Structure 1
Amino acid sequence: MVDSQSAPVAQPARPGGALGVVETRSIDWVPDEERHGKVWHQAPLWFLGNFQYFTIAVGFVGPSLGLPLGQTVLAGALGIVVGTLFMAFHASQGPVLGLPQMIQSRAQFGYRGVIVALAATIFTYIAFNVADQVLLAQGLNGIFGWNETAVALGAGAIAVLLAIYGHDWLHRAFRWLLYVSLPLMVLVTVGVLTGHAGGAHVANQHLAFTWAAFFAQFSAAAAYNITYAPYVSDYSRYLPRTTSARALIASVFFGASGSAVWLIALGGWLALKLGVSDGLVGLRQAGDHFLPGLGAAAAVLSALSLVATMGMNAYGGMLTVLTGIDSFRPITPTRRIRIVAILGLAVVWYLIASLISANAVATVFTALTLMLYLLVPWTATNLVDFFFVRRGHYAVTDLFTPSGIYGAWSWRGLTAYAVGIVAEIPFMVLPDLGGWNYTGPLAKQLAGTDIAWLVGLAVSALVFLAAARTTDRAGEDAAIALSEQQLAGV
C-alpha cells in the first residue's frame, strides 16, 4: 500500500494546456502522461527572463564602483558564464524527477530539514520582486512621470495573474514578449555600436581597475543566474522523462547567458557614456537619440518583460511556500491554495518595497549579494548529491513523507549548508543595508575583494561529499524500486 502522506497527488488535468485554463499542479509529481513541451522552449523562456530592465541594472554595479567599461563587460560576462552553468545543470533535474526543485531538495536536507533551504529560497523570490518593484516604480516615474504607487500596484496585479494561470501561460507570455522586444533592443544596440545613440565620457568620473570592483561586478553577475537555481527545474519538470540532459542544459545555458551578457554590457555603457543612474531612463535616451520613439518603446517592453519575470518569481515563491507548509502539515495541492499563496506573497513584496528609499542600483546590488551568500551552499549540496552521490536516482514517493528513506531531518545536507555559511562569514563584503554594512576580516586582507561565495561553494560541496559516504545505498535502492512500482500504479 502507498502511504497517504507519501503518495504524490495525481490529478488528470494538463497544466494550462489550453488558453484560459488555470494550472492544477503545484508541488505534486507530474506523471509521464502529462509531460509535454519541447526543449527549445527553454531557450526563449530564460532568454527573456534576463532580457529586461533588471539585467541592465546589474551592469551598473561595476561603474558605480569606478570600474572602466571594458573590465565591467569582462567581469559581467565571466560572472554570467559561471552562474549560468549552475543554473543549467539544475534544469536537467526537472524531466528526470517531474518535481519542483525544492521538493527534490528533501533528499539532501530531509522532509522537514528542507525548511532551511526554503527560507533562503523564499528570501530570494521576495528580494527579487522587491527590487523589481523599486526598479519599475523609479524607472517609469523617471521616464514618463507615472505615479510610483500606481506602477507598483499595476505590475503586481499582472504578475499575480501570470503566476495564477501558471506554467504554460508563463512560457507563452515570455515567448510573445521576446518576439516583440527583441527587434527593438537590436536597434538600440545598433545605435550604440555605430555611435548614433549619443554618449560621451562623463565628466568627473574617476575610473580605475581594482580587484574589489571587478569581483563585485563578477559576483553580481554570477549571483544573477545562480539565483535562478532554486526554480529553473520548476519550468522543465513537465518535459518528457526521455528529454536529453545535454540538449536541455545547452538550451537553458545559451538562452539565459546570451541575453544577460548583452544587457549587462549595455548597462555598463549607459552608466559610463550617458552618466545615468537608472537603466530605463538610459535606454530611452539612447534609443530616442538613434530613432525618435525607439527608446520609449524599448523601455516599455523592457518594463513589461520585468513584470513577467515578477510573475515567474511569484510562481516559484508559491511552490516554495507550499513546500514549507507541507513539510510540517501535509496539504492537498489545489488551485485555491496556490492562489492564496501567490496573493500572500504579493502583499509581502509590495509592503517591503514601499518602505525602501534607496536608489535602484543599491537595492539590486544588496539583494544579489545576500541571495548569493544564502543560495550557494544549497546549490553546491544539491548538485553534488544529484550528479555525484545519487546520480539522479531517487525514491520519489519517499520525498513526500517524513518516515521515508530520506528522514525528517538529514544531518548531511544541514551540516554541509551550515558549515558553508560559516565559512563565508570571514570573506563577506556586505554592501549598505539600512545604514549597516560589514566587511569580514579576511576580506579586509584582500582589499575588500568578495570571494565569500566561492569559499562557501567549495566548503559545502566537500563537506557533503564526505558526509554522503555514510549513506545507506542498499536501503535506498530498495526504496527506489518500491517507489517506481507505486508511481506506476498512480
Structure 2
Amino acid sequence: MIERHSIDYVPWSERRGKLWHQAPFWFTGNFVLPTMVIGFLGPELGLSAGFSFLAIVLGACFGTFFMAFHANQGPRMGLPQMIQSRAQFGSRGVIVPFIATVFVYIGFMVFDVILATQGLGLVLPANKWFWYPVLTALSIVIAVVGHDLLHFVQRWLTYLLILAFAITTVLAFTTLPAPAPADAGGFDGTAFLIQFSLAAGYNISYAVYVSDYSRYLPAKSSAPKLIFYTYLGAAGSAVWLMGLGSLLASRLPEVDAIGSIKQVGDSLFPGFGTIVVLISTLALISIMGVNAYGAMLTSVSGVDAFKKVRGGVRTRVIGLVIVGLITVLAALLIPDDYLGSFNNFVLLMLYFLVPWTAVNLVDFYAVRHGKYAITEIFNPDGIYKKWSWRGLVAYSVGFLVMIPFFSLPGLYTGPIAEAIGGADISFAIGLVVAGGLYWIFARGLDSRAEEEARRRSQRELEGVDFE
C-alpha cells in the first residue's frame, strides 16, 4: 500500500515492524559502490592495506556511533528525522541544517545514478540521457510507495549482496597478487587521519536519515536493541566495503568502482564480475529511493516552516518529482571526472552535519531526555518558537571553530590543518564545541512550561497523559 504519511506524526495505532529489520536496511543502505570508493584513498596516499583498514574500522565505527543513536528518536517521537530539529533550532531556524541535508541527499543521488548507469553499461548502451531519467524515475516510484517498500527491498537485497560480495572478497584475497614490498605502503599519520575522517564523515552523513525509517516502530521499542541493530548494519557494511576498496587499491595499479569489481569477479568465471556489478546497481537504485524519500521529507519540512503544507500522498509525490528533476539535471551537468570530487563532497558533508548531530543528540539524550511536545513542533508560535537562538548559536560557533581545521585537497586547507601536515580533525572540534555550548545554553529552558505542553500534546495525539 502507498504510504499516507509525510512529515506528520505517526500515531501509535499505526506502529509496527521489527527491530532487527533496521540491520539489513542499513546494511544495504551503506553497501553501495560509493562506500567502496572511500577505501581507495588510504593506499593512494601511501598507507598499507592494513593501516588503511585500521583507519576505516576506527573511522566507520566512530561515525556510526552518532548515526545509530538517532534511531531511538523515531519510535519515541513518531516523526521524520530532520523535522525533529525544530525543537533545537526553531521552526524557521532549522532551515540552516535543512539546506545542508538536502545537499547531502541530492549529492548522493547524483553519484549513485552515474555509477548505476556505468554498471548497466557493461551489458547495455550507457546512454546517460536515457538512463539518468529512467533510473531516477524508478527510484522515485519506490519512494512514492514509501516506507514499507523501501524496507522490503533493502532487506531482501541484503542476502544477494552478502552472497555476491563474500565471493568477490575471497577472490580479491586469493587471486590478486600482493604488492611488492616497495609498493606496499606503510604508515603515515596524516594519511591515516584523512582516511579516518572520510570513513567517519561518510557514516555520520547517514544521521540525517535514521528516524525516517524507525518512526513506524512501536513507541515502547527497546532503545538498546534498536541502536544495536542500526549500528550493526551501518558499521558492518561500511567496514566490509571500504576495507575491500583499500584491498583493491593496494593490489591493483589503477582502481575504479566498477572495473575493479568486474576484474576480480571474472577471475571466478567470465561474466561473474558483471553479475556482481549488476547486483550492486540494484542496491544503488534502492538507495536512490531512500535518498529521494529523505530529500522530500526534509524539503517539505522546510517549506512547511514558512507556508503550511498538508501532509499525505499528494505532497510526497510533488516533492519527490521535484527532487528527481533536480537530480537528473545535476547528474547531466556534473563533469565526467566526478569521483575526483567525491572525497571532498564527503568532507563537506562532515563539516555541515557534525554540529547538527551534536546539538540534536545532546538535546534528545541530555536535555529533554526524549520527551517533546509533538504538536508544538508543528506550531510556529509554540514553545519551540520560529527561531531558537540556542541551537543556532551552538551550530554556528561549532561550524566556525572547525574552519581552521578543514582540509579539502585542492580547495582549502585551514591554518591549523596545514600546521599538522594536512590532517583533518575538525569533526572532533565541532562535536565538542557545538554539543557543549548547546548543553550550557539549554540549562535556561523553562522545563515546567514544556512539561505542561508535552502533556497537552500527548492527550491531543493519543488521548492519554504523557509518560
Counterpart position of 1:12? none
State the SS of the aligned residue for 1:243. Answer: coil
Displacement of 1:179 in angstroms is 2.1
Counterpart position of 1:118? 98
Could you say if the C-alpha distance between residues 63 and 184 of structure 1 is closer, same or farther in structure 2, counting changes exceeding 3 Å? same
Pairing 1:387–2:359 present: no
Counterpart position of 2:18? 38
Equivalences for 1:16-415 in 2 at 5 Å?
Answer: 21-141=1-121, 146-193=126-173, 195-196=174-175, 198-201=176-179, 207-357=185-335, 359-415=337-393
Could you say if the C-alpha distance between residues 391 and 28 of structure 1 is closer, same or farther in structure 2, counting changes exceeding 3 Å? same
Higher mean C-alpha displacement, 174-183 vs 409-418: 174-183
Displacement of 1:145 in angstroms is 5.8
Displacement of 1:129 in angstroms is 1.1
Is this contact kept in 2: 1:220–1:365, CA < 8 A? yes
Displacement of 1:192 in angstroms is 2.5
1:314-365 alpha-carbon deviations (Å, 9 max, x no partner):
0000000000010111111121121111111111122122222253432321
Displacement of 1:135 in angstroms is 2.8
Count of residue pairs brought into register by the alignment:
464
Q: In structure 2, give the amino acid aligned to 1:26.
A: S
Is this contact kept in 1: 2:119–2:278, CA < 8 A? no
Higher mean C-alpha displacement, 393-402 vs 144-153: 144-153
Displacement of 1:286 in angstroms is 0.5
Residues in 2 aligned to 1:151 and 1:72: alpha-carbon distance in whole angstroms: 35
Could you say if the C-alpha distance between residues 271 and 359 of structure 1 is closer, same or farther in structure 2, counting changes exceeding 3 Å? farther
State the SS of the aligned residue for 1:227. Answer: helix
Residues in 1 aligned to 2:144 and 2:322: alpha-carbon distance in whole angstroms: 12
Is this contact kept in 2: 1:62–1:217, CA < 8 A? yes
Residues in 2 aligned to 1:68 and 1:139: alpha-carbon distance in whole angstroms: 28
State the SS of the aligned residue for 1:228. Answer: helix
Is this contact kept in 1: 2:118–2:258, CA < 8 A? no
Is this contact kept in 1: 2:51–2:186, CA < 8 A? no
Counterpart position of 2:441? 467
Q: In structure 1, give the amino acid aligned to 2:419.
A: Q
Residues in 1 aligned to 2:119 and 2:38: alpha-carbon distance in whole angstroms: 14
Q: In structure 2, give the amino acid aligned to 1:451.
A: I
Q: In structure 1, give the amino acid aligned to 2:13.
A: E
Higher mean C-alpha displacement, 33-42 vs 116-125: 116-125
Counterpart position of 2:416? 442
Residues in 1 aligned to 2:209 and 2:382: alpha-carbon distance in whole angstroms: 24
TM-score, normalised relative to structure 1 = 0.91
Q: In structure 2, give the amino acid aligned to 1:68.
A: S
State the SS of the aligned residue for 1:92. Answer: helix
1:204-224 alpha-carbon deviations (Å, 9 max, x no partner):
958343222211111111111
Residues in 2 aligned to 1:204 and 1:28: alpha-carbon distance in whole angstroms: 59
Residues in 2 aligned to 1:438 and 1:141: alpha-carbon distance in whole angstroms: 35
Q: In structure 2, give the amino acid aligned to 1:276.
A: E
Is this contact kept in 2: 1:79–1:220, CA < 8 A? yes
1:100-149 alpha-carbon deviations (Å, 9 max, x no partner):
11111110001111111111111111111122233334455478662333
Is this contact kept in 2: 1:202–1:275, CA < 8 A? no
Pairing 1:486–2:460 present: yes
Q: In structure 2, give the amino acid aligned to 1:479.
A: A
Could you say if the C-alpha distance between residues 335 and 312 of structure 1 is closer, same or farther in structure 2, counting changes exceeding 3 Å? same
Residues in 1 aligned to 2:122 and 2:355: alpha-carbon distance in whole angstroms: 38
Displacement of 1:259 in angstroms is 1.3
1:29-67 alpha-carbon deviations (Å, 9 max, x no partner):
000000010001111100111122121111112223222
State the SS of the aligned residue for 2:266. Answer: helix
Q: In structure 2, give the amino acid aligned to 1:387.
A: Y
Is this contact kept in 2: 1:126–1:345, CA < 8 A? yes
Is this contact kept in 2: 1:137–1:149, CA < 8 A? no
Counterpart position of 1:11? none
Q: Mind listing any 5+ residue stretches in structure 1 that lack a counterpart?
A: 1-20
Q: In structure 2, give the amino acid aligned to 1:466.
A: I
Is this contact kept in 2: 1:188–1:294, CA < 8 A? no
1:433-487 alpha-carbon deviations (Å, 9 max, x no partner):
xxxx100111111111111121111110111011011111111111111111111
Residues in 2 aligned to 1:69 and 1:154: alpha-carbon distance in whole angstroms: 38
Q: In structure 2, give the amino acid aligned to 1:410.
A: S
Higher mean C-alpha displacement, 138-147 vs 466-475: 138-147
Residues in 1 aligned to 2:183 and 2:346: alpha-carbon distance in whole angstroms: 25
Q: Which has the higher helix share?
A: 2
1:374-433 alpha-carbon deviations (Å, 9 max, x no partner):
00000000000000011001111100011111111100000000001100111101234x
State the SS of the aligned residue for 2:409. Answer: strand
TM-score, normalised relative to structure 2 = 0.95
Displacement of 1:236 in angstroms is 0.1
1:251-291 alpha-carbon deviations (Å, 9 max, x no partner):
00011111110111111111221233311111111111123
Residues in 1 aligned to 2:117 and 2:181: alpha-carbon distance in whole angstroms: 28
Q: In structure 1, give the amino acid aligned to 2:95.
A: I
Could you say if the C-alpha distance between residues 180 and 163 of structure 1 is closer, same or farther in structure 2, counting changes exceeding 3 Å? same
Displacement of 1:154 in angstroms is 2.8
Residues in 2 aligned to 1:206 and 1:45: alpha-carbon distance in whole angstroms: 36
State the SS of the aligned residue for 2:408. Answer: strand
Counterpart position of 1:10? none
Q: Mind listing any 5+ residue stretches in structure 2 that lack a counterpart?
A: none
Residues in 2 aligned to 1:414 and 1:24: alpha-carbon distance in whole angstroms: 32
Is this contact kept in 2: 1:212–1:449, CA < 8 A? yes
Counterpart position of 1:424? 402
State the SS of the aligned residue for 1:402. Answer: coil
State the SS of the aligned residue for 1:442. Answer: helix
